[in-house]
Structure 1
Amino acid sequence: MKKLKQIVNEVKDRIAEQTPPAQLTDLLWQLICYPPKMPLRLQQEQFLNQAETFSVTVHDEYFTKKDLQINGFKWGNGKRRVLITHGWGSKAADFTELIAALQENPNLEIITFDAPANGSSDGELSNFLLFVEAAKAIIQKTGAPHVVIGHSFGAMANVVALNDLHITPSLLVSLTPFILLKENFIKSMTTVGVPADAQEAFLQDFERKYSIPASYFNMPDLYKFDDKLNHWLAYDEHDMMLPYSYLKEFLEAHPTIRSRNYDNVGHERIIKSAQVINNVVEEVNKAIAN
């Protein structure tokens, strides 16, 4: 978190100095693309030590121009594979409680990983496309999953990775999924006081670098599954990170997605909620029993 605070303070200082918008852009890339890293708690470290570890490589064509080592973790040797993808500024170990609950089913093989620039994996800056490429590399290494679980940014990345690999899992679980990425960028910049013209300069630079606008990364357009997908979605209607209006429109467009509101669990804490964990485990056990 220290590095992120330094970036935020530098952005605010530059704004106070009335730095021209174009000269703020490089710093805004750091603000948007730096995922804060929280150290492992002792319980998390001990839990990861119980896992079988492996790694894959993902080429970072956006920041370092190098191959990044992505660290993966596996528990169990069951015939039904579960893949879990964490959110922005998170890590595999943040799912300790959920993984421990899933381990009670001996038929499961549980796989998760630290995305680029998150947790123990290589990199300092990351983006949505690197999350997607990491998820695809993990799947190609370990095999097609029967169940896919994602939180926040990771839930959106799962959708694209599965579509790209033409995989339809027996169950897709999305926990407080991102819906509109551009709007999240704007919110992040507005929160620290970035002027509208500087925000627009950043978004234009984004489109120049990626040859696509930030608005391309929105769940309604990225979601290619038909109504046969068994998709269960958990959210908090009062989530400050995920405006319910965005989610409501998406769910109305896909009425076969089964969704449940968990009031006041919070965007980040939803993966720690005992009630949510119990319900996810129920959904997984039901899906693999069929």
Structure 2
Amino acid sequence: MKRLKQIANSLKATAENPDDAQMREFIFYSPKMPLRIHQEELVAVAKSFSLEVYDPYFTQSNLQINCFSWGDGKTKIVLTHGWASKALDFYELIIELLEIEDVEVIAFDAPGNGSSVSDLSNLMFYADAVKAIVSNYAVPDFVIGHSLGSMANVIALQDLNLSPKMLISIAPLIRLKEKFAQSLTSVGIADVHQDRFFNNFAKEFPVQASYFNLVNLYESNYFNHFVAFDPEDDISTFPFLKEFLDKFPEVNATVYEGVGHYKILKSNDVINDIVVKIASVK
């Protein structure tokens, strides 16, 4: 978190003429928060293993993903965390999922997040991590994602032509470019300089940032999909989610008011509803 604050403060101080490299690092650097004691205790009883994804963007090398598993049941549940997060931020949900009979709960730290090493991270690292688990460890019956992890799940599962029994998205991010713009605006970067960042993005990556829009990427009727959201979420904002839900009315969405973007992961109502849904169809 200290490094991110340093970058943010530097950008604020130079907002009239921001450095391209600093804008890039600000967007792709994911701050890491240490585990709390109760999370450390849960990691201690996990089956830990590692997989790899290839990084064609920053280092042109393989990156290690640290993965964790609890339980050894036939029903496989994969959890994909959000940006600047980690597997153990699902702590409360993991504990309750393990009360379901005959399950194995699988989570991972995406490259650049949690315990997985990388200076920078991006959405495709998340999606490739899900693909690595499916290809090398277990085919999931249920896939749960939070925020950016929800978008990564959709991309990975559709690329794999895989439709689990249920896809669950908690406070899903719908438009990536607009999230980048929101972050740059928060440190005073004007639209003209943001345009420069997005032009550089399109040169560095195979697609423009606007490509990552679930309204366009999502395949209708592909998933049995449950979405949990707070309409007052200031990170995954409701107007974009509404556009998605209006286009895909088959998605089962439930409002949870007052839980916000991060605390929604700890909401008893959200967790109870997820557990009930999984138990009812497993």
- Which TM-score applies when normalising by structure 2? 0.98
Aligned position for 1:249: 243
Alignment-derived partner of residue 260 in structure 1: 254
Task: Please say which of residues 61-70 and 46-55 is displaced more in the overlay.
Answer: 61-70
Amino acid of the structure 2 residue aligned with 1:3: R
Partner of 2:202: 207
Q: 2:118 aligns with which of 115, 119, 123?
A: 123
Report the Cα offset of residue 192 of structure 1: 0.6
Structure 1 residue 134 displacement after superposition: 1.2
Q: Pick one of 229, 234, 239 that aligns with 2:228.
A: 234
One-letter amino acid of the counterpart of residue 266, structure 2: K
Residue in 2 that maps onto 1:270? 264
Matched, 1:166 2:145: no
Question: What pairs with 1:77-156 in structure 2 (closer than 5 Å)?
Answer: 77-156=72-151
Q: Secondary structure at the match of 1:278?
A: helix
How far apart are 1:143 and its partner, in Å? 2.1
Q: Supply the distance in 1 between the matched residues of 2:198 and 2:223 (Cα, whole angstroms).
A: 34
Aligned partners of 2:184 and 2:251: how far apart in 1?
32
Q: Report deviation, 1:202.
A: 0.4
Q: Which amino acid aligns with 2:30?
A: P
Which amino acid letter does the alignment assign opposite residue 130 of structure 2?
A
Q: Shift in Å at residue 64 of structure 1?
A: 2.1
- The aligned residue for residue 281 of structure 1 is 275
Partner in structure 1 of residue 5 of structure 2: 5
Q: 5+ residue gaps in structure 2?
A: none
Distance 1:256 1:117 in 2: 34
Question: For the residues of structure 2 that align with 1:105 and 1:131, how far apart are their CA atoms?
Answer: 26
TM normalised by structure 1 equals 0.95
Runs of 4 or more consecutive aligned structure 1 residues displaced over 3 Å after TM superposition? none
Amino acid in the other structure paired with 2:269: Q
The Cα of 1:11 is off from its aligned counterpart by: 0.8
The C-alpha deviation readout for 1:84-137, integer Å capped at 9, x for no partner, is: 000000000111110110101131111000001000001021011111111111
C-alpha separation in 1, matches of 2:35 and 2:87: 10
Shift of 1:61: 1.6
How many residues are treated as equivalent by the alignment?
Answer: 282
- Residues 170 and 229, structure 2, Cα contact 8 Å, conserved in 1: yes
The 8 Å contact of residues 133 and 139 in structure 2, kept in 1 or not, is answered as no
Contact 1:76 1:106 in 2 (8 A): no
Distance 1:107 1:201 in 2: 51
Q: Secondary structure at the match of 1:197?
A: helix
Tell me what 1:62 maps to.
57
1:197 to 192, 197, 200: 192
Deviation at 1:65, TM superposition (A): 2.1
Partner of 1:74: 69
User: 2 CA distance for matches of 1:219 and 1:237?
Assistant: 18
User: Match of 2:256, as an amino acid?
Assistant: Y
Query: Judging changes above 3 Å, is the alpha-carbon distance between structure 1 residues 27 and 149 closer, same or farther for their aligned structure 2 residues?
Result: same
- Aligned-residue Cα RMSD (Å) equals 1.0
In structure 1, runs of 5+ residues without a counterpart are none
Structure 1 residue corresponding to 2:34, chosen from 29, 35, 39: 39
Give the superposition deviation at 1:222.
1.6
Q: Cα distance, 1:251 vs. partner?
A: 0.4
The C-alpha deviation readout for 1:160-192, integer Å capped at 9, x for no partner, is: 000111100000000000001000111100111
SS in 2 for 1:69: strand
